[in-house]
Every structure is written in C-alpha cells, then in structure tokens.
Amino acid sequence: MPLTPLPTLLVEPLVRQALIEDLGRAGDITTHAIAPLDCAAKTVMAARQEGVIAGLDLAAIAFRLMDPAVRFKPVLADGAHVAPGATVAIVEGPARGILSAERVSLNFVSRLSGIASATARLAAAVSHTKARIVCTRKTTPLMRSIEKYAVRAGGGANHRFGLDDAALIKDNHVAIAGGVAEAIRRVRAHVGHLVKIEVEVDTLDQLEEALGIGVDAVLLDNMSLDDLRRAVTMIGGRAISEASGRVTLEVAPLIAATGVDLISIGWLTHSAPILDVGLDYLA
Amino acid sequence: MPLTPLPTLLVEPLVRQALIEDLGRAGDITTHAIAPLDCAAKTVMAARQEGVIAGLDLAAIAFRLMDPAVRFKPVLADGAHVAPGATVAIVEGPARGILSAERVSLNFVSRLSGIASATARLAAAVSHTKARIVCTRKTTPLMRSIEKYAVRAGGGANHRFGLDDAALIKDNHVAIAGGVAEAIRRVRAHVGHLVKIEVEVDTLDQLEEALGIGVDAVLLDNMSLDDLRRAVTMIGGRAISEASGRVTLEVAPLIAATGVDLISIGWLTHSAPILDVGLDYLA
Amino acid sequence: MPLTPLPTLLVEPLVRQALIEDLGRAGDITTHAIAPLDCAAKTVMAARQEGVIAGLDLAAIAFRLMDPAVRFKPVLADGAHVAPGATVAIVEGPARGILSAERVSLNFVSRLSGIASATARLAAAVSHTKARIVCTRKTTPLMRSIEKYAVRAGGGANHRFGLDDAALIKDNHVAIAGGVAEAIRRVRAHVGHLVKIEVEVDTLDQLEEALGIGVDAVLLDNMSLDDLRRAVTMIGGRAISEASGRVTLEVAPLIAATGVDLISIGWLTHSAPILDVGLDYLA
Amino acid sequence: MPLTPLPTLLVEPLVRQALIEDLGRAGDITTHAIAPLDCAAKTVMAARQEGVIAGLDLAAIAFRLMDPAVRFKPVLADGAHVAPGATVAIVEGPARGILSAERVSLNFVSRLSGIASATARLAAAVSHTKARIVCTRKTTPLMRSIEKYAVRAGGGANHRFGLDDAALIKDNHVAIAGGVAEAIRRVRAHVGHLVKIEVEVDTLDQLEEALGIGVDAVLLDNMSLDDLRRAVTMIGGRAISEASGRVTLEVAPLIAATGVDLISIGWLTHSAPILDVGLDYLA
Amino acid sequence: MPLTPLPTLLVEPLVRQALIEDLGRAGDITTHAIAPLDCAAKTVMAARQEGVIAGLDLAAIAFRLMDPAVRFKPVLADGAHVAPGATVAIVEGPARGILSAERVSLNFVSRLSGIASATARLAAAVSHTKARIVCTRKTTPLMRSIEKYAVRAGGGANHRFGLDDAALIKDNHVAIAGGVAEAIRRVRAHVGHLVKIEVEVDTLDQLEEALGIGVDAVLLDNMSLDDLRRAVTMIGGRAISEASGRVTLEVAPLIAATGVDLISIGWLTHSAPILDVGLDYLA
Amino acid sequence: MPLTPLPTLLVEPLVRQALIEDLGRAGDITTHAIAPLDCAAKTVMAARQEGVIAGLDLAAIAFRLMDPAVRFKPVLADGAHVAPGATVAIVEGPARGILSAERVSLNFVSRLSGIASATARLAAAVSHTKARIVCTRKTTPLMRSIEKYAVRAGGGANHRFGLDDAALIKDNHVAIAGGVAEAIRRVRAHVGHLVKIEVEVDTLDQLEEALGIGVDAVLLDNMSLDDLRRAVTMIGGRAISEASGRVTLEVAPLIAATGVDLISIGWLTHSAPILDVGLDYLA
C-alpha cells in the first residue's frame, strides 16, 4: 500500500498561513539586510536522528511560496527510514528565499517526521501480529489532516478524522442513553448507511451487550491483558476490536498478542517528540 | 509579573477553525443521535498529572462558540500549579454543546499546559540563578502566539515572535556576509531604531568580533560549559547572553551556573508532551 | 428520530456571505432611502405552496446578522408539513433590517424547503416498504451540509458527504483496477477501520464478484426491476442494497417493491424546484 | 453581443471552496486506493440532453486546481446549443486528478447549463417580439455572479445584481413611504446620479402615479394581459416596462405580445432543473 | 436626506482586520505591562480642528471588538460640523481595552473625517448653485465603501462604486471602439436595463456625437469654463452633466456657475488630509 | 542600503482584495462591452509630477492577477526620483486586462509614491544632519506594511510596526503607572530580551527620570527647539532621541539641527497627497 500524498488544495493554505505567521508585517529583516537579491545558496536538508521522514511536500510548498525560483529536490520520499545524517532533500536557489522559508519548512517536516517515527517504532513492535497502530482525534488544532497523514507515513492507520465521518459512542454517551445497547440503537437509527459505528466498552458485560445488538467496532478501553484476551474470544470476528489506554512501546506487543485488531494511541499525535531535521548550507 | 491573557481577537479565530475542523460537514453525529436537545450535564475539567495549567481561555471560547448556553467556570488561573486530580474548571449546561466541544477544548488545554509544565520544570531547575528559560521559533505552525503564551504561563520568557520583530543573525547569515562584524554592520544599517540585534556565535573569536562592533545580544550556540563561562566574562554585561543547544533538565542548572542571562530551548514548544487533562461527567 | 439542527458554527458563515453578496458595496439603497431608522414592521413568513419546511435557522441567522433587534419567531419547526398559506414564522422589528434580509432569508428557506418537500414526496411514495430515499453528491457547490440537512428534514437519509468519509467505487474505478474484486481489495487495504466501502455494479455478474469478496454496500445502477429483484435475492442481507438511475415519483414505489434498502436520487438536490415561501407585511 | 467570461478572480475562489468541500479532511480515498499516481485517462465531457452549455471555465478551473497536469480542452463555448450526446470538452491527463475533480466540475456545469437552457427556451418563445427574458435576485446563495452569467449564456439579460447597484421600490417600500410618488421622491433624493430607479406597481393607478413623477423602469407585477397592454400604452416609451409573476413557457409569448420590454422570471435561477452533463472515460 | 449608516456586516470585518494588524502576534505589550486588568479609564474623543465628523460607528466597533466592556457613547453624529476642541464621544471602561484600540479607532475616524471635511468645504463653496460634489474610484484600496460613505457624510454624492454598477466610457474605450457613438452603442447592447451609461468627452464635437445617440450622463473632462458653459447649453437637460479635472476650492464655484450638475474630485478620497481627532484621558 | 521588496506572500492578498472590490459582482462591464477579447494595447505608466516612485510590485501583481498575459515592465525601480512625464513602466498585452486593472494599480502606486515623495522631501531637508525621518502607527488601516515600505522607499526609516514589536510608553501609560520610572520598570519586567523600550516625555524632568532608570529611546513630544537642544545634551548618547509634534518641511531642519536622532511624522502616512501617476495608451 503506497503512501498517497495529500491534495495540494488542502495543505497549501496551511503552509501559506504558517509563512505569513512567521513573516509578520515586515518580513525577514535579518536576511534582507545581509543577503543581496542575487545571492545564491545550495543547501541540504538532512536528518540528525534515526527515524521516518514525512512532510516533504509541505517543505516544497513552503520554499515555492516564498520564492518560485527556489528548487526543492527530494532525495527520499515520505515514509522512508533515515539514518542520522541522511540527506533528505537538496534545496537550491536564491539565498533569501531559502533562508526565509527554512524555519517553517523544518517546523512542518520535523513535526510530521516525529509522528511518523513514533508510529513506525510502535508498528515495528507489533509487526509480528495482525494488530495495527492507529491514531486518535487528540491532534494539534488545525493540523489533523497532515498529522493523520504522518501516521500513515509511519505505517499506522487512521481512526476517524472528525466528529462526522463515523460514530464513536463513548462512556458519556452510554451514560446519557442509559446503556450500551440503547446507545447503539439510537445511533443506528440516526446515521446514514455509509457510517460505521464503534462503541467504547469498559467491561466484558458491556461488550456482551454491544455484541448482542451488533456494532461495527468495539473500543476496549483500559482493559487488562486478560480481559483483552477474553474480549477477543467473545467477539469472535463479529466486530473490529480496538484496544486503547496508556499504550507504551513496551506494552504494545503484549496487547497485540491478545489478538486485537487495532491499538490506538493518542500519544502519537499529541506528544511525539519531533525528528531533528536541519538545513545545512553547502555554499 | 502577572500573566497577561492574549486578546480574544487573536485566539478566537484559532478556536473557531479547530471546532470547524472537528465538526466537518455533518457535525457531531454520535452526540446528536444520543443526547436530546434538553439534556443537561455537569462536568469537571481535571488534571490527571502534576504540572502547570495554560489555555483555559481557549477552552472557554470553544464551549461558548459551540453553544453560548454552556457555562465554563475556571477554578484555577493559567499559570497555576496543579496536582494530579486537581479540578481546573467546572463546565455545565447543555450536554450536546459540552460533548461536541470537549475534544477541541482539551486539545488546546493539554497541549498548552504541556508546554507550560515543561517550562516550569526548567525554570525551577535554574531558579537559584539569574538565568531565564526562553523559547524559540520552533513552534507548531499557526500556534506561535498561544505557544509563546504557554511558555510565559510556565514562568519562561519569549524570544522573538517572528522574522520581523528582531534581527537574529545566524551562522548562514554570517557566512554570506563574510564575518560577524560585517553581518552586524549590515543589519544595523537596515533596521529601525526599535529593533534589537542578536548574533549567533560558535566560538570565542566570533564573540570577540561581535563585542568589538557592539550588539544587543549574543547567542552562544552549543558551547562547552567552560567556553560559556569564558564568554560571560568576556561579555561583562555589554550584551545579553543566551546559551542554546541540546539543553536538558539535568544540564540546565550547570549552564545557568555559568552566568548566562538566558537559556533557550526549542524542545519546549516542539517536543514537550501534553499535560493529561480530562473532562469528567458528574451528571 | 427527531431532526437535529446543524451547528451554528457551520451555517453562520454561509448566511453571512450570502448577505454580503447581496449588500454589495453600498448596502440596501432603496430601503435606506425610504424607511426611517425608527420605522418598525411586523411580518409573517408564509408558505404559498404545500410542502415541507426547512432552513428556518438560516433565516433566523440572516435577520439577526442584519440587525440583532429583529425578532424571528418560528411558528413551525423544520420538517413540518405546511399547507398553502400556512404561517411559518413571525418576523418583527426594525423595518430596515427586515427588508434588507428578506430576500436572502427567503432564498435559503425556499431552496431548502424545496429539497425537503421533494424528498418528502418520494419518501411518502415508498413509505409502505422498508426502502429509504437518499441523496447524492450532486449538490449545489458550498451548500452540501445544508442541502443534506434538508433531505433529512424531508424524511430522507444521507449518502456520504464527500470524497473522504466513505469509499464509493464507481465504474471508472473498476475499469482502472481491472475488476470489481480487485477494486474492493485495493480500497480495503487503503482505508481505515471506520470507513465503509460501497461498490457500483452494472450487472449481476459484477454483483456476484462483489459479494464474493464482500463489501458493505452495493450500488445497483440503472438496473431493470427484474434485475433489482434478482440482485436483492442474491445479496440476501449480506450488504446494503442501493438502487439508482433516473428515479421518478412514479417509478420509486416499483423500485422500492423490489426489496432494495435504499433509493438514491440526485434530482433531490440538483433539480428540485423551490417551495414558494414569502414574507407578508402586516404593518 | 458575444458572451463575456467572468473574471477568474471572481470565480476561482468559488471553485476552490467547492473542491475543498468535497475533499474534506482526507481527500478522495477511493481514487487514491485504486488509481496509481502515473495512471492516465482520457475522458469526454458530454451533454446527455438537449440544451445550452454554460460554466466550462469553472470546470477548467476545477481540473486545474486539482492537478495542473490535467488538460481541459473545450470543444464548444459557453452559450452553444447542444444535442444529446454532444461532446462539450475533452479532459485528459492523470486519472487521479480527473476522477477527484469530476463531480465538482459537473456540479457547476450541469447547474449553470440548466439555467442557460431554461433561459434559452424562454428566450426562443419570445424571440419574435422585442421582449427580453431577465432574471431576479432569487439566486442560490453565493452563486449570484455565475448564475446571472448563465442567464446571459442562455440569451437572457440581467436584472440588478444586488441591493446596491440599482433601486427597486417594492410594495412594502411603497407602503412605508405612503405612496408610489413619495417613494420615488425619497429614493431620487438619496441615490447617486448613476443609479437607476425602478418601481413595482400592482395597479394602473399606481402606474399613473409613477409616470407622473417619472421613473426609469416600472415592474408590472402579476397584471392581467389586458392590464399589461394598457400599461404599455400608458407608458408610451417613457419608462422601461417589466412584467413579472408566475411566467411559464406557455404564457411568456402572450406577455411578450403585450409590448413589454422585459419579462422577469425568478424560476430561471431558483428552480431550473440541471442539464444532464457527464464525463465518459474513453481510456 | 439623513445620512444612512453602513451595515455592520460590511464594516466590522475591516475594523477587525485593522485591530489584528495592529496587535500582531503578541498584542499590546506596553499596555499589558503597565495597566492592571481592573484599571478603569474615562476618555473623551475630541476634534482638534474644525471640520466634519465621520466614522464614529467604526470607532465604536473597534472598542467593542477589543473589549465588550468598553462603553462608546457618541456625543455627535456622523456628518456633524465640529469646532476645534469639540467633544465627539465619551469612551469609558477598562483602560486596557481603551488604550489598545485607541490608535485604530482614531485612524478610521480621522481619515473619514478628513474626507468628510474636505467634501463639506467644497460643497459649501458651490452651495448657491445646483451643482453637487461627487467622488471617484480613486479611493484607498479596500476602503471604498467607507470612503464613499464619508463623502456622503460631508454632503457630497457618490459616483459609481466599482467597475460593475454603472458603465463609464473613458477616452481609451472610445479609442478602441473608434468613436463615441459606437462605444455607447456597444455598451447599450451589452448591459442590463438598470445600468446607466456615462461617457467621457474631451471636446464639444464628442459631446454632440454622444447627445446624438443618447446617453445618461456625460463627463466633461478638463474643459475650459467657456466650453463647460457651451456644453451645458448643448445638453439642455437631455443628460446629466459632470465636470472633472484639477478642481480646487477656488475653481469649484466657477465651474458650478457654468450650470453643470456634478463636479467630481478624486482628491477628496486620495489626498484629503485627515481631520486631527484625539483621545484625551480624564481619569 | 538598497530597498528590499516586500514578500509577495504579504502583498498579493491586498492587491487581490482590491481588484475584487473594484470588480464587484459583474466585473468591468464597460470594457467587456467595448474591447474584443483579442484587442491588444500598449501603454505607458508615467508620472505627472515630480517625486519618488513606490509600489511598482503591487502594480505588477494587479495586472498579472487580472490577466497573466499582460506584461508589466518596470523602467524605474521603487525609490527612484522622477520628473514630470517620466516613464515609470511599460504595460502591454490584452486591452481588457490592462483597462480593468488600471485604476487599482494606479491607486496603489500613486498612494505609495505620494508617501515616498513626501518622505523624500523631508529627508532632503535634514540630509545635512544625522537626523532621520521616521513614520508612526498613524497609517491607513490594512496598509501598514506597504505604507511603511513606501516610507523606506522615500529614504525614511520605520518606527515600530504595531503594538507588539516594541514597547512605546505614552503619556497615558505614565499616568497609570504613576511616573516615568515606574512605567519603564513595569515594561522591562514584562517584555522579552529582544524588545526595545521607548518612553514619551513631555518635560526635561521626565527625561531625567527616564535616563535615571535607563531606556532604549525617548520620544521628545512637542518640545521647543531650546528644550530639544537641552534634551540632546542631557541624553548624551545614552538613548536614541526622537522628536515629534507638528513637524513641517520648514521646521524639520531646525529640529534636526538640535541633534536629535529621529524626527517622526504621522503626516507622512495619514495625510500625504498622492503622486499623480497615470496610464497613457499608445496604441
């Protein structure tokens, strides 16, 4: 399954806004003072840590928007594993454009690569099982599309993208409805035929209730490994099973071994440290 | 120095966009199916970890924009230290509005509180010195104003906000200009009288050159503790001194002890994990 | 299943833009010339035809944005059937605000009511069967959320809202993939666990291929009534069945009688005539 | 009078927004899963019904914004009459771009062509008279410029574009002013020298009052054919005469025969069914 | 003819953008450092020069957007003549909100009052004639609606608001068409029935040609007083006459005495100096 | 110090909005009626007065946005002195694009050139001294970046760009703080290390207080020439000195002779008349 780039129509506005945020009202006063208009530069975008690269299209857009004469030539593709020091892209052209767009392009690439790298580490830890690593809605505001893309770049899969593309019945919904079955019933009567329904269950009793009425997926929240195993047996393929709750790199393989289909981790998008990526000036 | 809230004019558009991002085209289909229009809820926003809170104004705006009838009552103020379990705010009103704005409000608060908490830990580590912790331009795209605010909430100070409000001469600028002194000279001739100039120096020779021509601040990048001490002595109060480069909680006090004025840390805004904050439904 | 209003956050920007489009650069010059600032009016929004009302929230927003002193009091709720002459709402307050927002508010209400009314007629025609009427992506540009809402107001259901919330494999996709099964396989490998997959089939052979590999829903495009009946039998509850293709009010009951789950009709959103709704000035 | 295209500056934002509306947060997941990046396609945009084409520029923009490598070659020009099956344009290039922009481009073209076709039918029905078919402000929100353009493409003419480019005194304005003459007087004193004034009259008495004080145009609303004839005689060329009110294809020639200058029809823009236009994949 | 306020829908976005422009990324750092949150202030907006006030609604919006607790109480209305020192409005409430919105509110009021004052001086100079002072399209980018409003506040009238609400045939249009009559003919065949046509003529021969074919208004550009007098006689009430070209306060009465209907002056909007208006802090 | 162009990212949105403002809903109806699509034109942008040119990049963008086929070839560069009649640029290509963008491009160029020209006159008047001419925040709303650029084009320097990039303590701030020293103390404790602080002083006593605590710059407001001289002596190079208050071309050299570093003039941006620049059609 090759990685599909996000449409330019969706990501260009983000990059444009980020550049304008950085330029402020007067632009890059340091660079303007120092670099003559005709000063050229050749630079290398390089990883300073081991990880997985993501976000090169956004970097390309950043340099192009700052100055169409800057040439951004990716050496790797999003999703590629990099060793420390690996060249990611060559960036050549007017020094002013390169210097002024450098920070914004790196802010995108290092953040998305950080998410991709964290995802890849988790994915590797469970690769001997059928379990897949998925993200959540705990994303950075306004960055959901690109952060979910970074999860895919790291070999993970995406949970729903928002409140409207799938139904996820949480504990509070269950409380309001007065039970798991009634909650599922209400949602089923409400949503269109192309909307899947997932329900969060905290106990095996709730799981049984959910399976009784039928549901597309169950979120097994904060269950013990024993309960996860029992849950998988109870489900017996009748629903997709997703485990969640304080998943670490150490615990992930144990959870995966219980037979669940998915392990969801909010940490991927809300707390993954960046991958250190820099721009080295050759000339 | 009390913490100053950001103007609503600057932050409301961010919150509005984040809510629209989450609502998508059809809105919160799960909640709409389950919670009747007249269903009320009382909830508590609570910290699940020790740390420093920031971003409550954004949470308040999120709930208000989703439904003006939701009442958000902060119990603490931004900048307050919290213990695990501490109540941060009470959120009451129509269940639909609360449920639909919950994730976005928490995404803002947990991210900003994560930055504030990391800053506070660093600030505490150097509190016996005169050194202050400052952030960088390595912020999340479109979040610079609020992430820099979170640094202030944690007791840190802000570096420049963009490319235009101060001049920061980096190594590549020096290379293009052909030397530290020439770079400073060019910038000084270019910028207005209310623009400060800082120059990055990698060696004590460069520092001497900078001090010779005069500059507002020097960024001592990746220097050894010995060199930092020598640099502080050389500067002798003629410029603000800032140390940077792979600063950890352990190293920070040692750097601070060299006598530098500022320690800048990109990690605060690009890699601080969130502070876990949740919304508990009481009724 | 009560009708759920769209979030104000999603619809207010549309109404605001529509008012600005009508006001142009100089505003309502006729009304400004004629009606003094303190001139009050009492008006009745009334249906001039039989049908189903939808869009009253947008009308309310239009009057409020033009002048917060205008009071819009709905007498009916969206989804209500109206007879010719039926009072829909009372609109009272400053004459200027009412006159200037009249056309925009009616443009929204009459268009959405037209869609709701057409949907209701179709829904009534198949109400003795289990078939539901659904809309398509053939909506007016920028109006998708509110037009799909109008379909719900008329008693119909919604197909997917865009290219991203469900997978719909069409004939051209099948051609590129080289077959129905391969197309389903590729999509299944690509999308997240909460994304449903529907495939368009033109023949019973294609249907068999789709059922063989398994799919959430099948779109039976332009099939004869006989083929539809056979298709329903073949499917046997293993997938949701949707019939489409030149569905009229006369044909719909016949299609519904074949046992399909859904009948999709692009006409609802791209060609339904408006419901004539006007504003009568009482004083 | 050749048809003048709308400036790209005015229409590109509409197309861009429509594409973003359809792409949502994740883009065209079906196409991305199935069509490889290097898959090319050749397609034909063809009319499936008799009518008049309009909106090809918007289709061209849609494909270009989705992927600049897609080549849109119009075979006909806006305003051309088409027979069922007529080729309208050739669209070639990357299959992904074509598939992802197909629905939005067709939504624009089929809607505008529907308006143009309806206008052309009406215009043909009165072509033996001097009467011209004109539209109203009963347009789809946010689509006024392009819908009025479609009316021109169909051989009709445009009424005012908004509340600010001409004064149209309606019955409620007359009621507030206390009479037709006083209403005209107030408007004349208020507006600039390049603003025309039209007044709606329901009776011949009102018409006489309007002609007495003088006005640029009179809107003869819902008058009988006899009254229209009398009105035209009374006016005697001193004002432009416009007839309105429930005009059908059958009635239009009778109205035109009364000698009025203009026949205005809200139906053209609020209720004209689309012209069925599709995209056929050749390879 | 009382002055009609511009709709809030049209002007609030301008004020909002202006405040955001001034606040930048960090807000009003001086005021935040100095004024405690609970510090209140009472201020007087006062004219420092003789003139005519315009733009108070924009000032009110600026203070409200910055802090809804600020109370803006106009003492005068737009269009009022002021003596030096005259109180224009009282502004009371939180000192922070007042200080932070002060400059933006004054920038709007002083600029619009400058235009109104210049217009009033010109209008007074020709008040003994029937001539009216009108503005042009030589306005500040993005400010056209409010600058044209300021002209009305000063007692002037408005020319067309843009390229689309009236036809103005200029010398280059005449050159392309090959003559005044042919230009008018082309425009008349092109535009709707509510669009007026004005033609610029540089000679009496051109005027004769224009009058021969008929036109709504003639722009007599840079003609001598003698030629203007002859032109007015030739026109004999068959068209509106407008004189333009380097009109000063001294020349205006002489031009008005020739009998022209309108005198248009670009200077009103592109070069009128501001009216000095300040905010005085009482407490 | 060569003039640095503003980034396209910052100025293109302004030009785009200005064109849309002028085009309205229907576009340039006069030009569309008269000039055939294939009509070409060659024009010369020429100064009609002596002055300094600024804003050519904005004109280039205006023509390009209207029609990419229009070629804008600058003959001079921003900052160049022009004599009356001097050719500024050649504009060639489709007549429609040139005619439709003409007014907006001239509105930008003439306004910015007016500011540059006024600045240049002032700068020349003090060129024998070390004093520099600077602008203020009294700019046209939404035009601050480009108006400050125009000041630089005229040989002036820029004061702060907004409320956030430097601290300027004004009389009201001093009043709230209870004194000049306390105000400076509060700001110093509040702002980051790259923020300069300037304080307005009305008396030599206040100046002494400011110098006592130390500050980056002092604004000597409305002081007599004698007091300015004394102030300069008192300051003795310890702070930047700025004089302000009703500065005219006549008074400027006298103020400059007192030895102040800067003379700030709000008039440059709020009241400078435009430089008359026109577009002459050659063919």
Q: Work out the average pLDDT over C147-156.
A: 98
> Does F1 score more than 70 pLDDT?
no
Cβ–Cβ under 8 Å, residues D203 and D232? no
Residue-wise pLDDT tens digits, B166-210: 999 999 999 999 999 999 999 999 999 999 999 999 999 999 999
The proportion of chain D whose per-residue pLDDT surpasses 70, expressed as a percent, equals: 99
How sure is the predictor about E246, in pLDDT bands with cuts at 50, 70 and 90?
Answer: confident
In angstroms, the CA E60 to CA C68 distance is 16
pLDDT value at residue D283: 74
**Contact across the interface for A25 and F145, Cβ inside 8 Å:** yes
Under 8 Å between Cβ of A262 and A136: no
Which pTM was predicted? 0.97
Give residue-wise pLDDT tens across range A52-100: 999 999 999 999 999 999 999 999 999 999 999 999 999 999 999 999 9
Instruction: Give B135: exposed, middle or buried? Use CB within 10 Å, 0-12, 13-18, 19+.
Output: buried
Give the best residue of D6, D9, D158, D160 to mutate against chain F (max F CB count within 10 A): D9
Q: What is the pLDDT of residue B94?
A: 97
Residue F19 pLDDT: 98
Q: Report the catalytic residues of D.
A: 103, 138, 170, 200, 221
Who among F164, F165, F189 is closest to B1 (CB)?
Answer: F189
Can you tell me the mean pLDDT for C215-238?
97
Neighbours of E272 (CB within 10 A): 26
Closest to A191 measured CA to CA, from E183, B34, F150, C129? B34
Identity of the amino acid at C238: R
In sign, the C-alpha dihedral spanning A245, A250, A252, A258 is negative
Give the A-side interface with F, CB within 8 Å. Answer: 16, 19-20, 23-28, 32-33, 37, 65-66, 100
Does the CA dihedral E89-E92-E97-E100 come out positive or negative? positive
The one-character DSSP state at B168 is E
Q: What is the mean pLDDT of residues C172-195?
A: 96
β-bridge mates for residue B73, sequence order: B90
Using CA atoms, how far residue E3 sits from C25, C36, C37, F126, F198, in Å, is: 16, 11, 10, 45, 42
d(CA D11, CA D6): 7
Which residues of chain F have a CB within 8 Å of the CB of B145?
none
- On the question of pLDDT at E23 being above 60, the answer is yes
Contact flag E217-D193 (C-beta cutoff 8 Å): yes
Q: What is the pLDDT of residue E4?
A: 87
Please write the tens of the pLDDT for every residue from F217-249.
999 999 999 999 999 999 999 999 999 998 999
DSSP C181-234: HHHHHHHHHHS-TTB-EEEEESSHHHHHHHHHH--SEEEEES--HHHHHHHHHH
Collect all residues of chain C within an 8 Å Cβ-Cβ radius of residue D271.
Answer: 114, 273-274
- Residue-wise pLDDT for C55-111, tens only, equals 999 999 999 999 999 999 999 999 999 999 999 999 999 999 999 999 999 999 999
Q: Give 3-state DSSP helix, strand, coil % of chain B, rounded to 5.
A: 45, 20, 35
* Predicted pLDDT of residue D109: 98
Mutate to test the interface with E, among D134, D137, D193 (most CBs of E within 10 A): D193
Q: Within 13 Å and on the Cβ side, how many CA atoms surround D163?
A: 26
3-state secondary structure (DSSP) of residue D221: strand
Q: For residues F93-117, give the mean pLDDT.
A: 98
Which residues of E are catalytic, by number? Answer: 103, 138, 170, 200, 221
Instruction: Give the pLDDT confidence of D118-147 residue by residue, as tens digits.
Output: 999 999 999 999 999 999 999 999 999 999
Q: What's the gap in Å between the CA of B13 and the closest CA on chain D?
A: 19
What pLDDT, on the 0 to 100 scale, is given for residue D246?
A: 87
Task: Report whether B134 contacts B267 (CB < 8 A).
Answer: no
Find the catalytic residue in C73, C130, C170, C238: C170
Which residues of chain C have a CB within 8 Å of the CB of F19? none
**Is there a catalytic annotation at residue A221?**
yes
Among chain A residues, the shortest Cα distance to E26 is held by: A24
Q: What is the pLDDT of residue C1?
A: 52
Give the confidence band of D1 by pLDDT, cuts at 50, 70, 90.
Answer: low
Q: Would you list which residues of chain B are within 8 Å, Cβ to Cβ, of chain E?
A: 2, 4, 6-7, 9-10, 144-145, 148, 158, 161-162, 165
Among D159, D164, D189, whose Cβ lies nearest the Cβ of E192? D159
CB atoms C4 and B65 under 8 Å: no
Nearest CA-CA partner of C40 in C64, C75, C70? C70
C-alpha span between E56 and B219 (Å, rounded): 48
CB pairs under 8 A between D and E: 68
Reported ipTM exceeds the 0.95 cut: yes
Average pLDDT over residues E165-182: 96
Nearest C-alpha of chain B: how many angstroms from C70?
19
How does residue F283 score in pLDDT terms, banded at 50, 70 and 90?
Answer: confident
Per-residue pLDDT of chain A (283 residues; tens, 9 = 90+): 568 899 999 999 999 999 999 999 999 999 999 999 999 999 999 999 999 999 999 999 999 999 999 999 999 999 999 999 999 999 999 999 999 999 999 999 999 999 999 999 999 999 999 999 999 999 999 999 999 999 999 999 999 999 999 999 999 999 999 999 999 999 999 999 999 999 999 999 999 999 999 999 999 999 999 999 999 999 999 999 999 998 999 999 999 999 999 999 999 999 999 999 999 999 7
Percent of chain E with pLDDT over 70: 99
Q: If you count them, how many residues does chain C have?
A: 283
What are the chain F neighbours of D11 within 8 Å (beta carbons)?
none
